[in-house]
Amino acid sequence: MSTIKTVEGNFQNASARYGIAVARFNSFIVDKLLDGAIEALQKHGVMDRDITIVRVPGAYELPVAVKKMAASENYDAIIALGAVIRGGTPHFEYVAGECVKGLSHVSMESGLPIALGVLTVNTIEQAIERAGTKAGNKGEEAALTAMEMVSLLRQLDS
Ligand code: INI
């Protein structure tokens, strides 16, 4: 049997506090991601009082809101949810790019796990597929990632 130590997160973090930052743009998709995220947290024992939803206008606004949330020290992890759907203009590239770059920057600066539940897709159909139909629910996946990372970082701290 191997004697190599492995450190890995699990989903037993019922005592952690989760912030969910949600973009209102494309809310018919993002609301499904939010439902998936909340269900995943509740299924693993997270209490409603340990979940806070923060709403912003669009995905572009997620990084600045998440930065404030991280600085507040009120959360053990933040789940960022949005849907950027390609249109006929380069706007998509800027919104999607700045959103993902900004969230990654905040995570590295703060040391807080920030789960990326922001869809960046070419079509509405692709968004629907990832919001609880044939390609799963990326909000649920982001919530599970947040839980796993809280657990992992706690173990790495100890
Ligand atoms: N915001 C989104 O969340 N998704 C999009 O697809 C989108 N598109 O395509 O324009 C979008 N734009 C708004 C942007 O996030 C800002 O709210 C806006 O530019 C004001 O700063």
Which sequence positions are flagged as catalytic? 91
pTM for the predicted model, two decimal places: 0.96
How is residue 11 written in tokens? 């989903």
How is residue 156 written in tokens? 């790495």
How is residue 155 written in tokens? 């173990």
Structure confidence by residue, pLDDT tens digits, 11-68: 987 799 999 999 999 999 999 999 999 999 999 999 999 999 999 999 999 999 999 9
Distances (CA, A) of 43 to 29, 65, 78, 157: 21, 26, 18, 26
- Maximum alpha-carbon separation in the chain: 57
Structure confidence by residue, pLDDT tens digits, 110-155: 999 999 999 999 999 999 999 999 889 999 999 999 999 999 999 9
pLDDT value of position 94: 93
Residues 87, 83, 32, 112, Cα dihedral to 10°: 180
* Residues contacting ligand 1 via CB (< 6 Å): 23, 25-26, 57-61, 82-85, 87, 91-92, 95
How is residue 103 written in tokens? 């969230």
How is residue 12 written in tokens? 């037993």
Among 84, 86, 100, 118, which residue has the most ligand 1 atoms within 8 Å of its CB, making it the best to mutate?
84
**Separation between Cα atoms, residue 69 and residue 80, nearest integer Å:** 11
What is the whole-number distance in angstroms between the Cα of residue 105 and the centre of ligand 1?
A: 19
**Separation between Cα atoms, residue 137 and residue 34, nearest integer Å:** 9
